[in-house]
Structure formats: C-alpha cells, structure tokens
Structure 1
Amino acid sequence: MASRKIGYSRPLHAGESLDAELESLASADVLNVVVEPSPRSGSALAALIAGCESGDTVVVSSLDRLADQVGAMVAILVELADRGIVLDCLSLPDARTADPTVVTVLRELDAASRRLRSRRTRHGMQTSGNRPGRPPALSPEQVAVAAELRRFDRSYAHIARVLGVSTSAVQRALAR
C-alpha cells in the first residue's frame, strides 16, 4: 500500500477558527485532514494514529496542535516514530520524526522540562516555608498543650477529645 499524507488539526481554545490551519495544510498538498472537535478531545488523533501504517506521514502546522502539554506531545511523537509514522511539522521544515536524533532530543527536552519544574517547585516551597503533604492537624500551641496533658498521664484519646482532633493526629504530633 502506498504511503499516505494525512493532516491533523485541533483548536487550541473553544471557538477558534481553524480556517488558517486548514489552508496551511492544503498548501502543503495534504488532501485528507482530520480535525479534532474540541481543544481537549484527542479522540480524533488517537483514531488517526491507530489507522496509520509505517511509512505514512502525519502533517501538522505546529507541534502545539498535537497536545497542550510537552509530555503528552513527546509521547505522541515517540509513538509515531516507533511505529514508523513520519510527522511533518510545517513550522519546523527541517525536522522530521523519522530521524532518531529528533526523537532523542525531544525525549531529553521533556525530561529536562520535568527536572526544571521539579527544581522550581522545591525551591519555591523552601523559600515560602511550605512543605509537601497535608498540613499538620495540630498547631504548635496545640502540640504544646498535648505534650503538657501527656505529662499528666492523660490518654491520647482524652487529649484528642480536648483538642478536637483524632487520636492518631495527637500520636503523630507528639512523636515528632
């Protein structure tokens, strides 16, 4: 079977006109274009990829038409490359996903993006004094009251009732 050239587009936001997109795909000699009905759908793209065979070419005007997150975009690009489906991005005329170097670079960019996001999150949490997870059930003052009551041999259940928290919350706070 001869290789096919199939276009794909999706709106980036509700109500966006795809006329310019479809024009750019038509000017690239793409006769068959699959259009996603909404920005968040993805079902038309999944069906398009499932129907493609090795040697087929999927054409998009820009990479952001594939997905709205870099990780999802890279996953799509890797799947296409692994299946021998070429992605032709009109905004990147010299880059084709059939080239293993392109896929390697995209994977590394995705990993770098995740590492940077993680570092920024950790740094922001450190500078703001926040810590991950649920906030403590007891304030420092309540922990002091609980410690004082415990010194008077009060049970964890009694302390929990007085402070209006669970017994396990009192146990955790006093264990710190």
Structure 2
Amino acid sequence: MRFIVNGASMEAQVDLRTSLLDLLRDHLGLTGSKKGCNQGACGACTVLVDGTRINSCLALAVQYQNREIVTVEGLAEGAALHPLQAAFVEHDGFQCGYCTPGQLCSAIGMADEIARGVPSIVTADLSAETIPLDHDELRERMSGNLCRCGAYNGIVAAIAETFAKEPA
C-alpha cells in the first residue's frame, strides 16, 4: 500500500485490518501519535487526513491510501516550530506530553473547520459569516482530546493565542 505522510510517499505491506495508528507507529516509525485508549475516546492519536482531524486508532490504514496524512512530526517547517507548537511551549500547554501530539493536530484541524464555517453544538449564530473562537467554542471543539495531567489552561491559552481573534 502507498501512503502520503507528512508530504513524503511511503509504502508498507500491512494486514487489511491494521489501523492507521498502528501503520504510522509500527510500520512507518512515526511514533508521535500516541495510542491512549485505542477506542477513539481520548484523542491522543489524532492526525490530519486531507486537512481533517481523525482518530487514527479507529481508522483502517487501507482507507487512507494515497491521501495526505499529517502527523505531529509534519507540523514544523524544518527547524522552525509550527506557531501552535511554539505557543504550547510558551504557555506550558503540556506536562507529561503524551496527549500533546493529538492536541496539536486536533487544534489545527479545528481551526480549519472554523475557517470553513463548520458549526459546533455551541455555535450561537449559525447564519454568521465567521464563527468566533470564544471560550465555549474552543473548549467544545477540543472536548474530544483529553489531558490526564490537566494542562487544559495552558492548552486553551496556546490555541487561543494562535487561532482566536479575541481571548478565549
């Protein structure tokens, strides 16, 4: 099977039942995405596929052949961190760091959803041209990513600084 991961074409022979997460970690050596619950409940395995965030533990690798997959390893531009990665460092958006790759990928996917006008359950005005990334909107959209250490204040501050027009 052929995959496009972080801009590079990669091939792997895997069982058709192999999850995308297991492909990335065990077959392609990209261990940034973490296996937390392996049930899609914690978000530690979140990656971007064609710009959309998904839980890679619930996805079969075979479904994502020839699609653009971005993991946490693909966020930085060479030695320069992605602005969200830099904000996580500045705001102490991590403690143990286990959830951080999923948090980063999920937040980037979330920002794209907002830019495309995709509402959430708490979006107040469905007819508005833009959706403000306020406190409630940010927390609702990131609710699928859990942090066992409780570093949520730093995580929210980093995301708000990077993507919000006004403080969350």
Instruction: Note whether the superposition's TM-score is higher than 0.5.
Output: no
Higher helix share: 1
Higher RCO structure, 1 or 2 (CA under 8 Å, sep 6+) = 2
TM-score band by shorter chain is: under 0.3
* Larger Cα-atom Rg: 1
Q: What TM-score, normalized to structure 1?
A: 0.24
